[in-house]
């Protein structure tokens, strides 16, 4: 199964919610019209046109992490990621030359066609885009957790130049997917890898958001890329959290450094730095506690970890990943606001996008904060961490085919 098909099947809850909603909206006052009517109404959106304008070059294949020019050591060459980690299944856009010319899409058969028995195009239900319809579309996006502002932005963009025109469900989906992909384009950035080692990755987020699982998945991908990884179980106050991380370490084949229950997480982080240096590790991933009940304590805990690791490397941590749970919907927005105050968040990973009808929250996050989205979690298995591709995501969210 291609990565896109997998993503699409995993995002089914959000897309089917949007699908059902869109059908109900178009049925409400929609009239049947021939398929070619849309072309007359809106020449820029013939059916089958790709969401994005055709690319001259094939789109780059996204990964959950990427080599990048170092901050501190600009002379060193970026690390090369072996092909083993390239998500080979990701389809490269091949639709470039397949978009039919509008005239070719107006495929009502002529006399010869009719004589040869070609069928008339099936009539499609379309509704005229007016204020009432726009309001309904906006509400639908809000129910998928896209947030009020982002939902308004998406519907306003799709309405531009199309007010009073007739639109079908499929046309609305394509217009929306195009706008969503546009909003998310600038935040789709794989996690940067630096030549400086050990690269310290601090992983933050509320308990249960999927930090442990994401660390395990990332460690497994790094390992497959030939990197040496060390994990530090920084949530020393919860034995269950440490055990869970050990399970993931075993799965990924990566050592997990632990400390006795209740010991100082900063001291563990310091020891982990020492160990990672001794082992010549490329990456040190530090799990942290996510108790928001006492924010002052958590802030102190996180800043102490940072202070201590900076004694060994003044540039650390090199990444601070905030892990967010998609099933919390708009609550993820306030989590970003809180963690931005607690730590210097450098990028996001959104988990549990499978099985939730609230996948639109990622669009809202991208629109509101513009923080890089490195990867998305689409299941509980070790390989269920996908690179974030805005176009595939937008299409999957809207239930469209590539």
Ligand X SMILES: Nc1nc2c(ncn2[C@@H]2O[C@H](COP(=O)(O)OP(=O)(O)OP(=O)(O)O)[C@@H](O)[C@H]2O)c(=O)[nH]1
Tokens of 193: 């890898």
**What is d(CA 135, CA 137) in angstroms, rounded to the nearest whole number?**
5
| Vertex 375 angle, CA 372 and 381, to 5° | 160
- Would you say 79 or 206 has its CB closer to ligand X? 206
Per-residue CA distances from 228 to 217, 231, 273, 303 (Å): 14, 10, 13, 26
Confirm whether residue 354 is marked as ligand binding.
yes
Confirm whether residue 291 is marked as ligand binding.
yes
Is the separation of the CB atoms in 119 and 154 below 8 Å? no
- The CB-of-205 to ligand X minimum distance in angstroms stands at 6
- Would you say 122 or 293 has its CB closer to ligand X? 293
Q: For residue 327, what is the DSSP state?
A: G
| Vertex 366 angle, CA 346 and 189, to 5° | 50
- Would you say 78 or 355 has its CB closer to ligand X? 355
- Would you say 205 or 390 has its CB closer to ligand X? 205
Binning the chain into helix, strand and coil, the percentages to the nearest 5 are: 45, 15, 45
- The CB-of-379 to ligand X minimum distance in angstroms stands at 5
Confirm whether residue 290 is marked as ligand binding.
yes
Q: Which residues bind ligand X (CB under 6 A)?
A: 205, 207-213, 235, 241, 244, 290, 351-352, 354-355, 377-380, 384
Confirm whether residue 205 is marked as ligand binding.
yes
Per-residue CA distances from 336 to 205, 345, 350 (Å): 9, 8, 11
- Would you say 6 or 211 has its CB closer to ligand X? 211
**What is d(CA 305, CA 291) in angstroms, rounded to the nearest whole number?**
15
- Would you say 62 or 234 has its CB closer to ligand X? 234
- Would you say 62 or 379 has its CB closer to ligand X? 379
| b/e sequence 59-92, b meaning 16+ C-beta within 10 Å | beebbbbbbeebeeeeeeeebebeeebebeebee
- The CB-of-354 to ligand X minimum distance in angstroms stands at 5
Confirm whether residue 352 is marked as ligand binding.
yes
Confirm whether residue 170 is marked as ligand binding.
no
Confirm whether residue 206 is marked as ligand binding.
yes
- The CB-of-170 to ligand X minimum distance in angstroms stands at 29
- Would you say 274 or 334 has its CB closer to ligand X? 334
Burial of 157 (C-beta count, 10 Å sphere; 0-12/13-18/19+): middle
Confirm whether residue 370 is marked as ligand binding.
no
Confirm whether residue 313 is marked as ligand binding.
no
Residue showing the smallest CB distance to ligand X in the complex:
377
Closest CA to 319 of 186, 184, 188, 196: 196
Confirm whether residue 212 is marked as ligand binding.
yes
Burial of 337 (C-beta count, 10 Å sphere; 0-12/13-18/19+): exposed
- The CB-of-73 to ligand X minimum distance in angstroms stands at 32
Residues in the annotated binding site for GTP: 205-212, 287-291, 351-354
Residues in the annotated binding site: 205-212, 287-291, 351-354
């Amino acid at each position: 199964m291609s990565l896109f098909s997998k993503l699409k099947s995993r995002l089914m809850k959000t897309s089917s919610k949007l699908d059902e909603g869109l059908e109900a909206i178009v049925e409400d006052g929609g009239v049947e019209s021939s398929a070619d009517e849309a072309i007359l109404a809106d020449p820029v959106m013939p059916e089958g046109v790709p969401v994005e304008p055709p690319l001259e070059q094939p789109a780059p294949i996204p990964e959950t992490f990427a080599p990048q020019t170092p901050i501190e050591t600009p002379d060193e060459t970026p690390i090369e990621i072996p092909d083993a980690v390239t998500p080979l299944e990701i389809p490269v856009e091949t639709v470039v030359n397949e978009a039919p010319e509008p005239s070719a899409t107006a495929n009502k058969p002529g006399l010869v066609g009719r004589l040869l028995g070609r069928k008339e195009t099936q009539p499609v239900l379309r509704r005229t885009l007016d204020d009432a319809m726009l309001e309904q579309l906006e509400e639908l996006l809000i129910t998928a957790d896209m947030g009020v502002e982002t939902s308004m932005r998406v519907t306003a963009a799709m309405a531009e130049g199309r007010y009073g025109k007739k639109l079908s469900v499929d046309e609305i989906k394509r217009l929306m997917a195009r706008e969503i992909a546009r909003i998310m384009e600038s935040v789709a950035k794989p996690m940067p890898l630096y030549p400086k080692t050990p690269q310290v990755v601090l992983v933050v987020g509320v308990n249960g958001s999927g930090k442990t699982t994401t660390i395990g998945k990332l460690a497994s991908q790094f390992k497959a890329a030939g990197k040496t990884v060390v994990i530090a179980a920084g949530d020393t106050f919860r034995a269950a959290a440490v055990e869970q991380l050990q399970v993931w370490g075993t799965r990924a084949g990566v050592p997990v450094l632990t400390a006795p229950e209740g010991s100082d997480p900063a001291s563990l982080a310091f020891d982990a730095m020492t160990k990672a240096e001794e082992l010549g590790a490329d990456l040190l991933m530090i799990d942290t506690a996510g108790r928001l009940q006492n924010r002052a304590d958590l802030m102190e805990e996180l800043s102490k970890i940072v202070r201590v690791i900076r004694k060994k490397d003044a540039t650390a941590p090199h990444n601070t990943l905030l892990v967010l749970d998609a099933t919390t919907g708009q609550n993820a927005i306030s989590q970003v606001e809180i963690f931005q105050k607690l730590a210097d968040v450098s990028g996001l990973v959104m988990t549990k996008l499978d099985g939730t009808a609230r996948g639109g929250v990622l669009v809202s996050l991208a629109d509101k904060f513009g923080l890089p989205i490195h990867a998305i979690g689409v299941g509980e298995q070790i390989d269920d961490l996908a690179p974030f591709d805005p176009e595939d995501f937008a299409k999957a969210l809207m239930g469209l085919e590539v």
